[in-house]
Amino acid sequence: MPTRRQLLAALVASASSTAVVGAKADTWPSRPVRVIVPYPPGGSSDITARFVAESVSRTLGQRFFIDNRPGAGGNVGMEAAAQSSPDGYTVVLGTTAHAINMTLFKNLNYNTLTSFIPVALLTEMPLILVANLDVPARTIEELIALAKAKPRALNYASSGNGQSTHLAAELFASMAGIQLTHVPYRGSAPGITDVMAGHVQIMFDTTQSVLPHVQDNRVRPLGITSASRLPLASDIPTIAESGLAGYEAIAWNGFLVPKNPPGAIVEKLNSEGVRTLSEPEMKERFSKLGATSRSTTPDEFASYIANEIAKWGRVVRESGAKVE
């Protein structure tokens, strides 16, 4: 049996250990924090992460630095984050792709929900369905009629198999009861270039990528994938209001951390994210990208991701989308 002195020593050691853990959580961050972005520099996800990291760095007094880890449809960066120490000094930017990938890829080395703690949704960005100027359809209704008259005659570009630009089109085709032909590209830029050149007829692409071409009258906008019109392009009707009630496909991103971080780090980072998103300057920055900010609690973001995994899982299975 342990002596009274041994029990007292054990209690003191336990209290000291708890105090150290509590102190670590209370003083977080006491050194720079790495923000893994699973995409190359310059894209909308990378820009969003940099905007938020810059603001959080100022208020918390430690640098939040971007570590770009592109590859495998966003899986390389997520796998690196999942294998990182859960000490609160690695944050990862999760996106729509990481909901899609849960069904699209068979042997992932991470699980978007169980390998991480969702911290905060940051932004949502709709896609715009655009057509080459020679396509006779000028509305969603006319495009659907054209596709029904000529099954698989209409080609659509995407930024790659399984990307949101691909599955947004598959969801559209499924709901409209039409058949389209998929032409995947390695990235958005070559896809939209071929739409403008007339090599493919249509494409779903992010507002940041395609809106400048719309404004230059190089492609024709037919509809936007959000539930409501975008203030930046209020003359473009939503696809839902154009005959496909309930249609919505959003490119989103948000912060997650490796599971089991110490203390109240998740809550602290969430509150910083919410504060940042409420800043008028930040709202204006996102608006110029065609994105809107949306504050959530960690639990709300977890439910959001779970719903997205279920939604896009159905689309992947029904479309037969595969990674080659």
Least confident of 34-38, 43-47, 201-205, 244-248: 43-47
pLDDT at residue 48, as a whole number:
92
What tokens were used for 231?
Answer: 């203030």
Task: Please state, for a pLDDT cut of 90, what percent of the chain lies above it.
Answer: 73
| Domain membership flag for residue 6 | no
Which one, of 205, 225, 140, 210, lies nearest residue 178 by Cα? 140
Does 116 lie in the same domain as 31? yes
Does 133 lie in the same domain as 115? no
The CATH number assigned to the domain holding 115 equals 3.40.190.150
What is the C-alpha separation between 256 and 274, in angstroms, rounded? 14
Does 140 lie in the same domain as 195? yes
pLDDT at residue 185, as a whole number:
87
Residue 207 has pLDDT above 70, yes or no: yes
Residue 3 has pLDDT above 70, yes or no: no
Res. 73 pLDDT band, cuts 50 70 90: confident
Residue 16 has pLDDT above 50, yes or no: no
Does 119 lie in the same domain as 34? yes
Does 131 lie in the same domain as 118? no
Does 238 lie in the same domain as 137? yes
Does 277 lie in the same domain as 191? no
Where a domain ends, among 242, 268, 298? Answer: 242
| Domain membership flag for residue 236 | yes
Residues 148 and 297 sit within 8 Å (Cβ to Cβ)? no
| Domain membership flag for residue 176 | yes
Mean pLDDT, residues 201-216 taken together:
92
pLDDT at residue 8, as a whole number:
41
Does 173 lie in the same domain as 37? no
pTM comes to 0.84
Does 171 lie in the same domain as 227? yes
Where a domain ends, among 198, 221, 242? Answer: 242
Does 109 lie in the same domain as 131? no
* Domains identified in the chain, total number: 2
pLDDT at residue 189, as a whole number:
86
Where a domain ends, among 191, 224, 242? Answer: 242
Residues 271 and 59 sit within 8 Å (Cβ to Cβ)? no
pLDDT at residue 225, as a whole number:
96
Mean pLDDT of the chain: 89
Domain interval for residue 97: 16-124+251-319
Residue 209 has pLDDT above 70, yes or no: yes
Does 151 lie in the same domain as 78? no
CA neighbours closer than 13 Å in the CB half-sphere of residue 102: 22
